[in-house]
Structures are given as structure tokens and as C-alpha cells.
Amino acid sequence: MTDFIRKRTKNAKNDILSGATVALALVPEAVAFAFVAGVDPLVGLYAAFMIGLITSIFGGRPGMISGATGALAVVMVSLVAEGNAMGAESENLGLYYLFATVILMGVIQILAGVFKLGKFVRLIPHPVMMGFVNGLAIVIFLAQLKMFKDVDGNFFTGAKMYTMVALVGLTMLIMFTLPKFKITKKLPEALIGILVVSAIVIFGNLDVATVGSFIRDGGGEGLKGGLPQFQFDIFNKIPFNIQTLKFIGPYAVILAAIGLIESLMTLNLVDELTETRGNANKECMAQGGANIVTGLFGGMGGCAMIGQSIINIKGGGRGRLSGIVAAVLLLVFILFASTYIEQIPIAALVGVMFMVVVGTFAWSSFRILRKIPVSDAIVLIAVSLITVWKDLAVAVIAGVIISALVFSWENAKRIRARKRIKEDGTKVYEIWGPLFFGSIKAFNEKFDAKNDPDTIEIDFVESRVTDHSAIEAIFNLVNKYEAEGKSIKLKHLSEDSKELLYKSSPKFREVIVEAIDDPRYHLAANPEKFTKSLSEYKL
């Protein structure tokens, strides 16, 4: 028991300090995303608190930070607007439709975890992952540029711009240089940067944008709020019928997919940074449960936040405690410390996020672009651009599809047929390479039914039948030779290939040769038996 407690608390100091830094960075992000979605800032802050707390306790990736995110907020805009249009302006129905959608979104994510769909994140190729982090770094950078604009959307000019740039640069300089000093072993450099710049602004009485002014400029009344309340009005104002399900269902599916893709991609990235491994299916269920709770208690929903997760990891946060501290401190800010948090200059938080951009971007991608296959380079660039143009989910899906098509095309070209004539006049086609939908055309071109001799053997010892297209191709080939009055036999098919063919048509039992005395065939068809025999003989 003592060892267990020691193991859990050995990094407690770093987790607590890193969690405090993350909590400060969460405030403007949650507020900004709430404005994007068209809801009150507290709706975003409550989401950051509840989702961050629940996923930190029950999630599959300790050290990963979750909360309200921009990828989800942009989808919620039209949802809230359409919901508001269904009733009077004072009813604010869009907000309650949003809560209902977030609850349904959470149910879908839990089902994804139950059916273990999280494992499919392993199918994401490395170029897609690199494109993802590059695109995300650009998105984070572009999002911070909005902080250099006034209420009318114009960039600051004169002294105001110089002051903003100077404070952002000072924050970045502190974060860049402090790791060289021992003080960063006590406090995260991001937290020191925020405290130093905040002190300069407060005691220097500088006229710069702060968290408080940012909230008020966006139409909010301030950071002050109470505890999240159960939203009984969801059940009173929204009719739970098929029409409502048709309205919120598509939004819920899209939000669930975006949330899981962003969360699982972030999980993979944190795995690489910490050289540990998270549990994708457990994370799916935790994200789903968190969204159900936040929907019931007035939050806008959310998922993993890559920027805050990197801040946490770089600050030394490794355990669940860091996420718990960040979530709890965020609630403390809302309840008791809103006056002080509102005084933090936006420039300090922008400087922290710029350093996140520097740490997130895969700078090595410039170096390797000429060294990797052209197809992988195209995928990397495409995913980066689509992430900026559309969103993370669309970019990742597009990258996986492009990679899959390239893989299929390359494998389609690997089908080969070695031809030879036996002493008895039988013509043998030895097939090499995978037989699937992409290689069918090349496979069919290898045969000449009209001019071949009367006896044909097709040897599949170096090939596999993998899909319905392959089955149909073989079936048609057999019929073509038999229509010419010729005998055809299929040899050396693997066990799984024979199972597919037998299941598709009883005709294959007449042409497949079972009794084969060939060690190559037994090794290729039953590799697990060969491995077992080696272990038995301790070879």
C-alpha cells in the first residue's frame, strides 16, 4: 500500500503546478469557444471544468487535458442558431437543444468505447499524424492572431500593438530561457511567464487587453458564476420525439466523431511525448460519460485539447492529478477568484500558446519531405492544409482515405504470375501477391483461356484471396476455362482463402486440391502451427 501511494504521489508537485498553469490557459480558450458557439461564457467554462475533471479521473490517458474546444464549437454554431429559430427569442431554445445534443453525443462516444472502436486509431499512418500536428499548430497560431485585434476586427496600431508584441515576446523569452536555470525545477516556466507579465501589467498600470476585458468585449458580463446547476429545462422545453431526434441526431454523430478523433489523436501524441501508452477505448467511454454529465449540468461539451495537453506535459504534468487540479482550480476561479483572473493580460496567455505552437509543429517534416515517398509527402501536406481549411476530423479522415488508396494502388501492382509447363503438358500459373479488388484487372490479364492447354493449375502458395472481388474473379476464371472444355485446379490455397471460397459457392469443392504434400504450403497456410512446433522443440 505504501509503495502504491508513493508511486501515485512522487510527481505530485509537478502535477499540481502544471495543473495550475493549465487552469489559467483554459479560461480564455473556454470563453472564446463559448462565443464561437453563440452561448454564454459560463457554458464554456462549466464544460471545461466538468469534462476536464471526469476525463482526468476516468480517462485512458493520464496527463491529457480535455475541455471545450474550437473544433466542436464551429459545429455548434448552426445547431444553436437553428434551435433558437424554433421558438421565441426569449425562450433561448438553441441552448437547450445544444445540451440535448451533447448528451446524445456522449451516448454515442460511450458506445464507441463499449464496441472497442478506439483501437482503429492505430490505423492512422505516421504522415497523417505529422500533418495533424502541423495543421493544428497553424490553427492555434492563427487563433492567437485574433487577440491582436480590436472589437471591430482591426489589428492594433501604434503603442498598443508594440506593447502587445513586447509582452508576448517577454512571455516567450521567459519560457525559452528559464529551462536553463534550476528555478524551473520548482515552477513550470509557463506559470512563471504568466505571473511575471501579469505583475508588470498590474503594477505598471498598462492599458492592455485582459481576460476580463476579453469577456466583456465578447458580450459577457464577467467570469463570476456559481456551481453548475442541473438543467431541468431540457426536459420541459424540448419535446422528446422523433422530430427532435432527427434534428439533433446528425449534429450528435458529427460532434461525437470529431470529439473522438481529436481526443484519440491527442492521446497518440501524448503517448509519443511521454513514451507511455494510453487506453483508447477507456478514453472513448470517459469522454462520452463526461459529455453526458456536462450536457445535463449546462456545459457545451468538449474533447481533448492538444494545446493545453502539451502545456501540461511540458510543465511536468504526467498523472491524473494534473488534470484534476486544472479542473478544480478553474471552478475555484469561477467561484472565488474571478476578480484576480480577469486581471491577467491576454498577451501572457498568447505568449504561452505561441510556445505551444513552436513545440507542437513537427519541424522535422521539412527535413524529411524529400526523403519519404511522394505519396506520404502529399498526405502530410494535404492533412496540414485541410486541418487549417476545414477541421481536424475532416483532415484526418481525408488523410487516412488517401493513404488507404495509395496502399491499395501499390499492392494492386504487385500481383504476378509465373508460368511454366509440366512434363505432362499441364500449364501452371504461380500467383504472387495479394488478390483483392485493386489487383483483379491485372490478375485477369495473366490468363489466356482460349490458347492454354487442356489442363490448368493455378498455384496460390504466394498469394491470398482477401475479398469478394477476388472470389468473383476466381469464380469467373474457372467458368471461363470450363466453358472452353478445359480442366482447371486451384492449389496451395491458404485455410482462410479456402474458407472464403467454399462459403461463396459449392463449385469450388470440385476444383480446389486439398491433398498436397508440399512443405511450402503447410508453412504458408498454417504459420501458427509451425511457430507452435518450434516452441515445442525449443528451437
Whether pLDDT at 533 is above 90: no
Q: Are residues 296 and 420 part of one domain?
A: no
User: At which of 353, 375, 401 does a domain end?
Assistant: 401
pLDDT at residue number 537: 41
Q: Are residues 459 and 381 part of one domain?
A: no
Indicate the pLDDT class of residue 411, thresholds 50, 70 and 90: confident
Q: Are residues 368 and 266 part of one domain?
A: yes
Q: Are residues 393 and 424 part of one domain?
A: no
Q: Are residues 137 and 27 part of one domain?
A: yes
* Domain assignment of residue 171, yes or no: no
What is the grid cell recorded at 43? 457554458
* Domain assignment of residue 379, yes or no: yes
Whether pLDDT at 90 is above 80: no
pLDDT at residue number 526: 53
User: At which of 346, 377, 401 does a domain end?
Assistant: 401
Rg (CA), the chain: 30
Do 174 and 193 touch, CB atoms closer than 8 A?
A: yes
- pLDDT top residue among 80 and 11: 80
Q: Which of 136-140, 174-178, 238-242, 256-260 has the lowest mean pLDDT?
A: 136-140
* Domain assignment of residue 485, yes or no: yes
Which pairing describes strands 427-435 and 455-465: parallel, antiparallel, or unpaired? parallel
Q: Are residues 258 and 116 part of one domain?
A: yes
pLDDT at residue number 442: 92
Q: Which residues contact 481 (CB under 8 A, 6 or more apart)?
A: 449, 452, 456, 487, 488
Q: Are residues 241 and 384 part of one domain?
A: yes
CB atoms < 10 A from the CB of 358, how many?
13
Q: Are residues 456 and 322 part of one domain?
A: no
pLDDT at residue number 184: 52
- Average pLDDT of the residues in 21-36: 83
Q: Are residues 239 and 295 part of one domain?
A: yes
Domain count, the chain: 2
Per-residue DSSP letter, 186: T
pLDDT at residue number 431: 94
Q: Are residues 499 and 389 part of one domain?
A: no
Whether pLDDT at 5 is above 50: no
What is the grid cell recorded at 421? 509447363
- Average pLDDT of the residues in 293-301: 95
* Domain assignment of residue 515, yes or no: yes
Q: Which residues contact 269 (CB under 8 A, 6 or more apart)?
A: 129, 133, 306, 309, 310
Q: Are residues 441 and 394 part of one domain?
A: no
* Domain assignment of residue 494, yes or no: yes
Do 300 and 102 touch, CB atoms closer than 8 A?
A: yes
Burial class (CB in 10 A: 0-12, 13-18, 19+), 226: exposed
For residue range 111-133, what is the model confidence (pLDDT) as tens digits? 999 999 887 777 788 898 888 88
- Average pLDDT of the residues in 278-307: 94
pLDDT at residue number 186: 58
Indicate the pLDDT class of residue 182, thresholds 50, 70 and 90: low
Whether pLDDT at 418 is above 90: yes
* Domain assignment of residue 393, yes or no: yes
Q: Are residues 239 and 370 part of one domain?
A: yes
Whether pLDDT at 252 is above 70: yes
- Average pLDDT of the residues in 221-231: 84
What is the grid cell recorded at 185? 525545477
Whether pLDDT at 211 is above 90: no
* Domain assignment of residue 169, yes or no: no
What is the grid cell recorded at 104? 446524445
Domain extent at residue 251: 8-143+223-337+364-401
* Domain assignment of residue 121, yes or no: yes
Whether pLDDT at 232 is above 80: yes
Amino acid identity, residue 178? L
**Nearest residue to 73 (alpha-carbon basis) of 39, 26, 24, 116:** 39
Indicate the pLDDT class of residue 535, thresholds 50, 70 and 90: very low
Q: Which of 221-225, 244-248, 263-267, 427-431 has the lowest mean pLDDT?
A: 221-225
Q: Residue 423: give its domain's CATH number.
A: 3.30.750.24
